[in-house]
Structure 1
Amino acid sequence: MGCLTSKSRRCLFVTFLIAVVLIVLIVTLHKRPSEECYAKAAVAADAKVCSTIGRDMLKRNGSAVDAAIAALLCVSVINPHSMGIGGGGVFTIYNPSTGKVETINARETAPMSASENMFGNDPKKAIPGGIITREDLKNYQPVLNEYALNFTVGKYIFHAPDAPFGGPVLALILNILKGYNISSSSVSTIQNKTLTYHRMIEAFRFADAQKSKLGDPLHENMIEIVQKMTSVSFADHIRSKIKDDIKQKSYDEQEDLDNAPDDHGTSHLSIIAEDGSAVAVTSSINNYFGSGVISRLTGIIFNDQLWDFIEPEVINEVIKNNLIKPGKRPLSSMCPTIILDKHSGQVKMVVGGAGGTNITTATAQVILNSLFFDYDLQKAVTEPRVQITLHDTNVEDNFDQRVIDGLKLKSHNIHHNASLSVVQAVVRQQDKLCAESDFRKGGYPAGY
């Protein structure tokens, strides 16, 4: 597991790769793919060649999981700044023969010699991966959850990963908003759209306050917290606090939580196979190019997932569940989601995203756009999105200025400072499967 010995060489390598990626992004961001629909199967990855490889695996009678693994390996080569086998991920898998949706938590665990105060007073000086042993690697095991977190909104049953992932957060957001009877009329006029986005932003902030309580259920007691976050009664309680004419000044325990971990080196892909099975998988090496350290022997880029644990210096009673412990997995916003039609039992939508702390809210917005606002899938994914921080709301370029003006009248602090978030989705529309890979990363789907 030898690494580059020269810090300057390592920095030069990472800087060069970042420059290449930025050039590619600048060239591709302006190319918006048209909505692609297929008769039998569809794959949406954030690189066209990887969608194609996943599709080809399906055409060779591979399973949806086979296709997902093949596409992930491809993405690790095409977009090494986003993911790789030096990182980890989470799968949500639907089996049509049993009707079961399960998740596999294949995220990284803290080394057994890790400790709560291992970073000292200046965690930025920590050496990435420096305490991992052969035994840590040998003893690593993914965690299978045979029954994914599930909740119902309208005519759809949602399945997503439980804590420490973003499933409970997504559930709370959608349960809050369903009380407003969201539909295409919610965005049919500027007045309605402004009110709807105000409610969405408020729901995002209240859910984000609860997210800070999550942690690894193998190390922390998450039962009551998750039950509360996914309950309709708690969503009703939160909704009663939202005022339609003005932004809240406080969102319960969210004070001083701007230090929550953020990550950007992430990729998501969505698949529906010919047999009706489906996979949503999100994979990450945490920050761009992970730790910035590459194995001299294998070429694998090592992750820096320890940064997803909260540092002891910023801990309060609310966020203590995400402290570093040996063998523990950190909090994550990832929420690869499979949505079933409640009446037919078929997969309606497979969706998920990348983009650090904005993953869950970006995924929620695409779901709302597609299933509730009745946008076609391309518009659902390409529509400019909002992002939240503790006190401010960031909007993407081309966000409707009339809605911005309306939100400002409700005391929202609006900035054009959104970071990159990328969503891949596949939706069943009557007898066809439509797929969309987010233009924000230059992706393109494939199918047959």
Structure 2
Amino acid sequence: MRIVWSKKLLLWLLLAALMVTALTLGLVFGLKNRDTLYISGAVVSNGIGCAAVGGEMLTDGGSAVDAAIATLLCEGLLLPHSMGIGGGFVATIYTRSSRKVETVIARESAPAAAHKDMFVGETSITGAKSGAVPGEILGYWEMHRRYGILPWKRLFEPSIKLAREGHVVSRYLAAAIQSKLDNIKADPGLSAVFLNATGDPHLEGDYMKRPALADTLERIAENGAKEFYDGGETGRKFVEDIQKMGGIITEQDLRDYTVRWESDGHVSAHVSGTYTLYSTPMPSSGPVLAFILNLMADLYTDNEPIYWQRVVEAFKHAYGQRTNLGDMYADPVSAASINATLEEMLKPEFLESVRKLIHDNSTSEDYLYYGANFTVEEDHGTAHMNVLATNGDAVSITSTINNYFGSKVASTQTGIILNDEMDDFSTPGVINGFGVPASPANYIYPGKRPMSSMSPCIIVDQEGNVRLLVGAAGGTRITTSVAAVIMKYLLRKESLTAAVNNGRLHHQLAPMRVSYEQEVDSSVTDYLKQVGHEMYEEPVGSSFAAVTAIGALEQPEPFYDRRRIGSALTLAKTNKMQH
């Protein structure tokens, strides 16, 4: 029996060996042409369904910039209260093959007839007069000329279809309509879009069409940026409508508008010894974000309460420096002082002197202690999106029309909602509620762009691989929110979900208090209170900035904030098996 069993065992072992050999040969020879799929690209957007529009462009062979433009056009329809072609944007672009970084400043600029005293004595800044010269379309056009692969018209097709055939009103848009209903009813252009046939506001789930904007997008798709900026029908109609409502934008302002590119002037910061951050220069808050991260580079500790005390103090010093910043490229009066502040902020010696002012067991309520003599106007609603293409190229863009529905007026002939970026400038003689005067660095000047909290950034490792794209929407809390997510994800090694969704802290110097969400650990808030900070717990549902990010420490992971709606898409790349 033993001999028979041994023979059977040997026979089974021989058969098993033959099967393994056959399988191995099959994998090597029979399956050698199979492809493996892995996630290598991603798009994330604040607009529901807009990430899919960007992904469609990448799938069709388009570039990261193609995908970004198509996504933003979609966001202008799905998030018309936050951004659109009547606004402006700032962008950071990264090319993986060359490791080249370029930034685009297509932020709105003051019209030629604007002056620093134009809003003195006015209690609110709204209406057509509050509109600055839009930069959105020219910014898209120039990015496409430099980085586009697909035809310009192709990028517009999904959004023209949405505008013509209609889209579902989201919960977020319905709430925005309700919050500004009086303004909407007061303006014919907005009423035509956001009220239904019976004169009632569109509700969540309603279907909304924008035929006038569809016509406008078709003309721009056919004729390029000149359709708006250089004597085209759209530009003429837009100016005609805005001037009838009291605006000061002229066709010459449109012709004179320029997009600013920076190849060497982008902002960078070291995030630990491994990662480098790239972001946009003035008048965005890229320099403010870089200042926070550079300050914190030597202040890391595993002690959670002490770490966040240091972060809060870094926020306060950063916002103190921010009060002395503005658009130095179009302000002959303040340019020298703005440039001096910017240069000082980047010096290692200055950073070290500021670190010595940060203490673990005390704080100050003196604005001068943090380098501030003035205040800067708050900015408001925005939208942010990121694209990571399968070839490693990346684009991070934040776009805005400022407050909800911008200036609260729309051009009836074009369907374009006008921004209210003039509200982002400071006005002489205005003392804010905290007794701090307005900032001369941010006074109105023709052609000048107002200071902004927008700070779209791309972070790469030492090999040049993109590891994080991040930006946010939500006014002055953008910069601290982006900084917090970067520190949590890359330094404190939290997951991207936790880094974006967990509770946040914010301090912008004025008001002199720490705002925090209820999810922040009580050990941190109790310690900050013990140190001497005034603490303010934000009501549930209040507007902390909404972050959108793509983490890529491993495979790309697009993620949008629980604080706002959005959409995310990943792309698989085919890779031939190597043998």
Q: Take 2:305 and 2:268, find their aligned partners in 1: how far apart are those partners?
A: 30
2:541 counterpart of 1:425: no
Counterpart check, 1:309 vs 2:425 = yes
Amino acid at match of 2:270: T
Q: Alpha-carbon deviation of 1:251?
A: 4.3
Q: Give the C-alpha shift of residue 260 in structure 1.
A: 2.5
For residues 296 and 395 of structure 1, the distance between their equivalents in structure 2, rounded to whole angstroms, comes to 41
The answer to whether the Cα contact below 8 Å between 1:214 and 1:322 also exists between their aligned partners in 2 is: yes
Larger RCO: 1 or 2 (CA < 8 Å, sep 6+): 1
Question: What is the CA deviation profile of residues 269-290 of structure 1, one whole-angstrom value per residue up to 9, with x for unaligned ones?
Answer: 1111111100000000001111
2:379 touches 2:453 (CA, 8 Å); kept in 1? no
Note if contact 1:341-1:347 (Cα within 8 Å) is conserved in structure 2. yes
Q: CA deviation at 1:314?
A: 3.1
Distance (Å, rounded) in 2 between the aligned partners of 1:288 and 1:38: 40
Q: Which amino acid aligns with 2:546?
A: V
After TM superposition, give the deviation of residue 317 of structure 1 in Å: 8.9
Contact 1:52-1:447 within 8 A present in 2 as well:
no
- For residue 445 of structure 1, give the secondary structure of its aligned residue in structure 2: strand
2: distance between equivalents of 1:428 and 1:281? 18
Q: What's the counterpart of residue 130 of structure 2?
A: 128
Residue equivalent to 2:69? 69
Q: Judging changes above 3 Å, is the alpha-carbon distance between structure 1 residues 256 and 233 closer, same or farther for their aligned structure 2 residues? A: closer
Q: 1:38–1:434: 8 Å Cα contact kept in structure 2?
A: no
3-state DSSP class of the match of 2:130?
coil
- 1:153 aligns with 271
- Which stretch shows the higher mean deviation, 91-100 or 325-334? 91-100
Select which of 568, 575, 578 maps to 1:445: 568
The runs of 5 or more residues in structure 2 that have no matched partner are 1-36, 132-246, 572-579
Q: Map of 1:229-268 to 2, 5 A cutoff?
A: 229-252=345-368, 257=374, 259-268=375-384
After superposition, give the CA deviation of every residue in 1:281-315 in whole Å (9 maximum; x if it has no partner): 00000011111111111111100000111111238
Question: Which residue in 1 is equivalent to 2:307?
Answer: 196
Residue number in structure 2 paired with 1:22:
none
Could you list the per-position Cα deviations for residues 25-55 of structure 1 after superposition, in whole angstroms to 9, with x for gaps in the alignment?
Answer: xxxxxxxxxxxx9712001111230111111
Q: Which moved more, 1:324-333 or 1:261-270?
A: 261-270
Q: CA 1:125–1:428 in structure 2 vs 1: closer, same or farther (change >3 Å)?
A: closer
Amino acid at match of 2:309: H
- Unaligned 5+ segments in structure 1 are 1-36, 187-191
Distance 1:318 1:266 in 2: 23
Equivalent position amino acid for 1:266 in 2: T
CA deviation vs aligned residue, 1:364-412 (integer Å, no higher than 9, x gap): 0000110001011111100111111421111113222232112111111
State the partner residue of 1:144: 261
How far apart are 1:254 and its partner, in Å?
5.4
Judged with a 3 Å threshold, the aligned counterparts in structure 2 of structure 1 residues 254 and 230 are, in CA distance, closer, same or farther, namely: closer
CA distance in 2, matches of 1:254, 1:319: 13
Identity of matched residues, %? 39
Residue 94 of structure 1: how far off its partner (Å): 0.3
SS at match of 2:552: strand
Match of 2:439 among 300, 303, 319: 319
Mapped contact 2:83–2:399 kept (Cα < 8 A): yes
> Displacement of 1:435 after TM fit?
1.3
Moved over 4 A (4+): 253-257, 315-318
Q: With structure 1 as the length reference, what TM-score do the two structures score?
A: 0.86
Higher helix proportion: 2
Q: Which has the larger radius of gyration?
A: 2
Partner of 1:58: 58
Letter aligned with residue 267 of structure 2:
L
Find the aligned partners of 2:75 and 2:315 in 1 and give their Cα distance. Answer: 30
Aligned to 2:143: none
Which moved further from structure 2: 166-175 or 146-155?
A: 146-155
Q: Which residue of 2 aligns with 1:24?
A: none
Report the 3-state secondary structure (helix = DSSP H, G, I; strand = E; otherwise coil) of the residue aligned with 1:441: coil
Q: Tell me the residue number matched to 2:514.
A: 393
Q: Check conservation: 1:425, 1:435, Cα contact below 8 A.
A: yes
Task: State the match for 2:104 in structure 1.
Answer: 104
1:84 to 2:84 alignment: yes
Matches within 5 A, 1:305-384: 305-314=421-430, 319-342=439-462, 344-384=463-503
Mapped pair 1:291 → 2:407 = yes
Q: What's the Cα RMSD here?
A: 1.9
Kept in 2, the 8 Å contact 1:438–1:444? The answer is: no
How much has 1:176 moved relative to structure 2?
A: 1.2
2:543 and 2:563 in contact (8 A); partners too? no
Could you tell me whether the CA contact under 8 Å between 1:179 and 1:236 is conserved in 2? no
Distance 1:211 1:286 in 2: 19
Determine which of 205, 208, 223 is the counterpart of 2:316: 205
Structure 2: how far apart are the matches of 1:372 and 1:354?
23
